Amino acid sequence: MDDILLMLPGPTTVAPRVLKATSDNIVNHRSAIFGEIFTETTELMSEIFKTKNQSYLITGSGTSAMEAAIANILNPNDKILNVVGGKFGQRFMHIANEMGADTQELTVEWGDAVSPEQIKEALDKDENIKAVTVVHNETSTGVSAPIEEIAKVMKNYDALFIVDAVSSLGGDRVEVDKFGIDICVTGSQKCLAAPPGMAAITLSEDAWKVIDKVDSKTYYLDMKKYKKAGSGTPPETPYTPSVSLIYALAEALKIIKEEGLENRIARHEQAAKATRNAIKALNLELFPKEEVSSTTVTAVKMPKGITDSDFRGTMRNKYKVELAGGQDHLKGNIFRIGHMGNISYKQLAITFSAMEMTLKGLGFNIDMGASLAAVNEAYL
Ligand SMILES: *Cc1c(COP(=O)(O)O)cnc(C)c1O
């Protein structure tokens, strides 16, 4: 198991230090000892979100924080604008539907990004929109949305700005306070390089003003309860959290701090560039428009004449490199290379070496070494 290289847009391989942290024994989650670890973790989380506001930890995957974002701000039939250009944008809309919202879909072609003008237009058309959801990094299509520019538009409207930064926080630029994001959510198993199972959410004062006036649509994810428990002595969560996963998350966040967030983002940018150039060197085609392509995951059109199982199966079984496939209608039509978390030169060199051998073995006329040269070029 250990020898499979995960090149996925989550879950990502974690550092030995992070794994080791999970082996510490369990402490009482309502004790001062845990309170200290908990405070340290939420403070590190806020630093990485770049916000002065409190962050809250949820035991659950990233989707739990998406659900918390929606369930705490809506009254029945409230209008919410959902930008949908992929699987995760769609998920936000489905959650909002489930919660009884009157959802307005802003459809974006899969592979393209929403523009700030499109958001402005939608908000000008309907002054009753209470919130806008945007997925920063649409993992299913490998597209990055211009959240900083969208945030500038959002400043002129009362609607809350909700951002899914699950596959971007810790790998791409997300500055919650500076941009003016009201609710930002993330998950542990992507760029943060912690084990799966924890999510985090941060909420602005404007968001709290709305939350305080709404009966939450959820028991477990009621953020008022998280706020109350989190501001107690010792600070805690309303229900038993995954103590071990919080140990691991704390360690992963410390590693981010040691690396430096700016350095870490630059490392992700470098990996993204190396990956795109290597793909082009193999004459393969990127799925998204290059100018909106993601910093943390690269989506590539499946080369004509081979199946997903031939390609990714050979990569995994013969060369021990695990890539992600496409989702929904993109299944079989694209593959995705995650370069988030701890990925750097070493992993990309192995990945492209394996990809060249795989394609050659499947009968493609491959210029052996071409993609490696492109990777090397990016790291010289
Ligand atoms: C992974 C991911 C999520 C959450 O997925 P979970 O499986 O619930 O952790 C949400 N949004 C995006 C953009 C993601 O990449």
pLDDT in tens, the chain (380 residues): 568 999 999 999 999 999 999 999 999 999 999 999 999 999 999 999 999 999 999 999 999 999 999 999 999 999 999 999 999 999 999 999 999 999 999 999 999 999 999 999 999 999 999 999 999 999 999 999 999 999 999 999 999 999 999 999 999 999 999 999 999 999 999 999 999 999 999 999 999 999 999 998 899 999 999 999 999 999 999 999 999 999 999 999 999 999 999 999 999 999 999 999 999 999 999 999 999 999 999 999 999 999 999 999 999 999 999 999 999 999 999 999 999 999 999 999 999 999 999 999 999 999 999 999 999 999 99
According to the model, what pLDDT value does residue 69 have?
Answer: 98
C-beta of 172 in contact with ligand 1 (< 6 A): no
What letter represents residue 370's amino acid? A
Pocket test for ligand 1, best of 144, 162, 164 (most atoms within 8 A of CB): 164
Res 6: pLDDT? 98
- SS3 string, 105-157, reads EEECCECECCCHHHHHHHHHHCCCEEEEEEECEECCCCEECCHHHHHHHHCCC
**Residue 299, SS3 per DSSP:** strand
Using the structure block, give the residue that is written with the tokens 């974006």: 108
Q: Ligand 1: does its nearest atom lie under 6 Å from the Cβ of 48?
A: no
Q: Is 210 helix (H, G, I), strand (E, B) or coil?
A: helix
- Residue 53 in contact with ligand 1 by CB distance below 6 A: no
- State residue 2's pLDDT score: 61
Antiparallel, parallel or unpaired: β 334-338 and 297-301: antiparallel
Task: Indicate the length of the chain as a whole number.
Answer: 380
The answer to whether the CB of 327 is under 6 A from ligand 1 is: no
> What is the model's pLDDT at position 99?
94
Structure tokens at 220: 């477990």
Query: For a pocket test of ligand 1, which of 92, 166, 221 has the largest count of ligand atoms closer than 8 A to its C-beta?
Result: 166
The answer to whether 120 and 162 are in contact (CB under 8 A) is: no
Q: Is 195 in the pocket of ligand 1 (CB under 6 A)?
A: no
- Ligand 1 in reach of 164 Cβ (< 6 A): yes
Token pair listed for 110: 């899969």
pLDDT for 212:
97
Instruction: Please identify which residue in the block is written with the tokens 């930008």.
Output: 83
Q: Which position has the token pair 């809350």?
A: 160
- The atom number, within ligand 1, closest to the CA of 138 reads 13
Residue 252 pLDDT: 98
Q: What confidence score (pLDDT) does residue 1 get?
A: 57
Q: Is the pTM of this model over 0.95?
A: yes
Q: Whose CA is nearest to atom 12 of ligand 1?
A: 166
Q: Ligand 1 within 6 A of 61 CB?
A: yes
Q: Compute CA distances 129 → 77, 90, 160, 254, 358, whole Å.
A: 11, 18, 9, 39, 49
Q: Which residues contact 252 (CB under 8 A, 6 or more apart)?
A: 14, 15, 18, 188, 192, 193, 194
Q: Which residues pair with 80 in a beta bridge?
A: 103, 131
**pLDDT value at residue 306:** 96
Q: Report d(CA 92, CA 89) in Å as an integer.
A: 5
Helix (H) / strand (E) containing 81: strand 79-84
